[in-house]
């Protein structure tokens, strides 16, 4: 996932660094389990938009390789897939797609007016200038090309455990609130997902549609939660939002499979550039 460029120091009210930094070892785990949870959702939308051999696609803030590989397989040797990220370390330069470093929140669009499909998942919610990033993606579309944007809306469903039946579930929800607080301090818009259909229409796209989904329970949710909490542990402690004991107890409950964990809804919205 792409991220805004660093600005102020840690803990600053103006700190815009991406909390879930791609450079951390846990990022690879997160990409694996996000792919397990959501790649099928994304591929379904891409298929419904009519992807076919010969299409040119831009995967924005790609993070891991899963969707870039799927797009490359769909467009075949006559097509082209560009996968970009502010830190493309987890992408495979020999995976059948082009890899480039790009900050969608600050850089101009690559190859403007040429892409049949532009896709970003869990990217814009973390970008400081979301309007500029959206305009950059729209500018990259050819007339008739499709933009598919998927982002979370944690205020629609803010809980880690929907059924708060005991202390372990209450602790999980406290820690989820703490992580949300860290994201807010880094400039994330935790209600961005619901704004996507309107934002696509405001950007001049037509045939706009949207849907939402979120998983409940299962190994992938557990593994994603553990990787995320380990990743932000130091920040939670430094901010006084959690204690070592709370985090250890939560990770133990997750590891034991005692929690039916869930995620914020993923809102998928799509629209077509007129032409």
Predicted model pTM:
0.90
77: Cβ–Cβ under 8 A, 6 or more apart, which residues?
none
CB 51 within 8 A of CB 26: no
How is domain 25-155+189-215+264-272 classified at the CATH fold level?
Rossmann fold (3.40.50)
* Chain-centroid distance, C-alpha 74: 22
Res 19: pLDDT: 67
**∠ at Cα 145 (270, 65), nearest 5°?**
70
* Crossing angle of helices 25-48 and 66-75, rounded to 10°: 30
Chain centroid offset of residue 149 CA: 9
Distances in Å between the alpha carbon of 28 and those of 71, 94, 105, 265? Answer: 20, 18, 23, 22
In tens digits, the chain (275 residues) has pLDDT values of 433 333 333 333 334 456 666 666 777 888 899 999 999 999 999 999 999 999 999 999 999 999 999 999 999 999 999 999 999 999 999 999 999 999 999 999 999 999 999 999 999 988 889 999 999 999 999 999 999 999 999 999 999 999 999 999 999 999 999 999 999 998 888 999 999 999 999 999 999 999 999 999 999 999 999 999 999 999 999 999 999 999 999 999 999 998 999 999 999 999 999 98
Contact predicate 58/84, CB 8 Å: yes
* Alpha carbon 185 to its chain's center: 18
d(CA 137, CA 270): 12
Q: Name the nearest CA neighbour of 212 among 164, 127, 270, 272.
A: 270
Residues 22, 89 contacting (CB under 8 angstroms): yes
**What are the tens digits of pLDDT across the range 102-132?**
999 999 999 999 999 999 999 998 888 999 9
Nearest to 63 by CA among 4, 106, 23: 23
In 106-217, which ranges are continuous DSSP H helix? 130-140, 167-185, 196-202
Domain extents in the chain: 25-155+189-215+264-272
d(CA 24, CA 152): 21
35 in Cβ contact with 63 (< 8 Å): no
């Amino acid at each position: 996932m792409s991220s805004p460029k660093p600005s102020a120091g840690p803990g600053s009210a103006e700190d815009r660094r991406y909390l879930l930094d791609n450079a951390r070892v846990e990022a690879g785990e997160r990409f694996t389990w996000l792919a397990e949870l959501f790649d099928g959702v994304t591929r379904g939308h891409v298929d419904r938009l009519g992807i076919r051999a010969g299409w040119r696609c831009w995967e924005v803030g790609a993070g891991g390789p899963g969707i870039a590989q799927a797009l490359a397989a769909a467009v075949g040797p006559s097509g082209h897939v560009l996968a970009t990220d502010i830190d493309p370390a987890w992408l495979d330069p020999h995976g059948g797609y082009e890899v480039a470093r790009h900050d969608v929140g600050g850089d101009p669009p690559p190859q403007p007016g040429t892409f049949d499909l532009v896709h970003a998942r869990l990217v814009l919610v973390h970008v400081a200038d979301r309007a500029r990033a959206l305009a950059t993606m729209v500018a990259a579309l050819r007339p008739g090309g499709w933009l598919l944007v998927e982002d979370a809306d944690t205020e629609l469903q803010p809980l880690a455990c929907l059924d708060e039946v005991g202390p372990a579930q209450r602790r999980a929800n406290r820690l989820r609130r703490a992580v949300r607080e860290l994201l807010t301090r880094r400039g994330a818009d935790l209600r961005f997902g619901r704004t996507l259909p309107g934002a696509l229409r405001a950007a001049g796209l037509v045939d706009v549609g949207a849907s939402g989904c979120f998983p409940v329970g299962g190994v992938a949710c557990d593994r994603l939660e553990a990787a995320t909490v380990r990743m932000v542990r130091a920040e939670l402690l430094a901010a006084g939002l959690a204690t070592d004991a709370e985090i250890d107890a939560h990770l133990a409950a997750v590891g034991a499979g005692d929690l039916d964990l869930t995620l914020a809804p993923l809102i998928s919205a799509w629209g077509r550039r007129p032409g």
